[in-house]
Structure 1
Amino acid sequence: MASENISYINISIKYGVLVGIAHIVYFILMGVFGLQHIIELSFISAVFLIVGIVKAIANFKRLKGGEISYFQGLGIGVITGLVSSIVLAVFLVIYISLIDASYLQNLQASALFPDGLSLLALFALTIVYGTWPGFFIAFIAMQWYKRRDHTMPERI
């Protein structure tokens, strides 16, 4: 594939969907093991976002022959975070609406969310909680990947 045809947006969407699926699988596993009431454990899934963004940036740089602009890297982080959090937010709305409405009550009882948390507010907060960290993760990762002398392994 010619490097001119490679879009950081397409790569970001691909990795965003993969990270979103990883979030959902983790959420389901927490439910299987009876850990969904421990809201703080859900923040461990940030590791999926970190890995997804770093892999997306590395993959884009490799496909572009080692070239990546700083803003492309930041864009990858923001879009990957946005897409993954939209996937998770849609899943949570479906889960709370159709499967377990008490999960929203657990969130409201947590000190991490307001008492009057609505389903719409949860949807919006999930997207914000995924998008902003995506920017910061990419900002940190680009300190390494922006360097021209950074060499890429064959596959990551």
Structure 2
Amino acid sequence: MENTSTSSVTTTSVGVRYGILTGIASVIISLVLYATNLEQSPVRWISMLVLAGGIVLAHQLFKQHNNGFMSYGQGLGIGAVVGAVSGLISGVYTFIYSQFINPDFLSIALNKARADMEARGNLSDEQIEQGLQMSAKFMDGPFLYIGAILGTLFFAFLFALVISAFTKHKRPEFE
């Protein structure tokens, strides 16, 4: 008698696997951007492409182990887990980077923000100072790390909403 069943993987196991891989890839990209002084350039958004690619690859693996089937809800779940795990890794990396590797991270970011606001020329010095004070509150302490985690989760869920619509393949009802 032949065994025709395939090994079944869960949405969580696939999400965790690709969340770890996506998180590590994002950290590596971030380190390269910091080493090349491109962390404030538009190139930094490449990590979002990595996140979207991680979700697509996770969907492919899930479908591969489930006879090609994946519901829309399963796709959303996988994307959310990928985002949560990747965001957790990003949050830990952000903490280590800003506390130990580059403790001047906050002042560098605020100086860049000041230069950008002054270059626009439509804000007074008082408005610039007020904006920088508000930014400093959210970039210091736990807000920075929680923001990294929640931001990654938010974007992963948005990506999963769209990607799952294309990668889903519902199991026939009368199978």
In 2, the alpha carbon distance for the partners of 1:125 and 1:107 equals 15
1:81 to 1:8, Cα distance in 2 relative to 1, 3 A: same
Equivalent residue, structure 1, for 2:57 = 55
Q: Is 1:115 paired with 2:136?
A: yes
Q: Letter of the aligned partner of 1:144 in structure 2? A: F
In 2, the alpha carbon distance for the partners of 1:35 and 1:12 equals 30
List alignment gaps of at least 5 residues for structure 2. 118-133
Would you say how many aligned residue pairs link Structure 1 and Structure 2?
148
Q: Letter of the aligned partner of 1:98 in structure 2? A: F
Matches within 5 A, 1:11-26: 11-26=14-29
In 1, the alpha carbon distance for the partners of 2:162 and 2:53 equals 13
In 2, the alpha carbon distance for the partners of 1:52 and 1:66 equals 18
List alignment gaps of at least 5 residues for structure 1. 150-156
- Normalising by structure 1, what TM-score? 0.84
Indicate conservation of the 8 Å contact 1:16/1:84, yes or no. yes
Equivalent residue, structure 2, for 1:134 = 156
Q: Letter of the aligned partner of 1:133 in structure 2? A: F
1:93 to 1:42, Cα distance in 2 relative to 1, 3 A: same
One of 65, 81, 84 as aligned partner of 2:83: 81
Identity of aligned residues (%): 26
SS at match of 1:114: helix
Q: What's the C-alpha RMSD, in Å, of the aligned pairs?
A: 2.4
Offset at residue 76 of structure 1 (A): 0.5
SS at match of 2:77: helix
Indicate conservation of the 8 Å contact 1:104/1:119, yes or no. no
In 1, the alpha carbon distance for the partners of 2:91 and 2:6 equals 33
Q: Which has the larger radius of gyration?
A: 2
In 2, the alpha carbon distance for the partners of 1:39 and 1:106 equals 14
In 1, the alpha carbon distance for the partners of 2:170 and 2:73 equals 15
Matches within 5 A, 1:98-113: 98-109=100-111, 110=113
Indicate conservation of the 8 Å contact 1:73/1:138, yes or no. yes
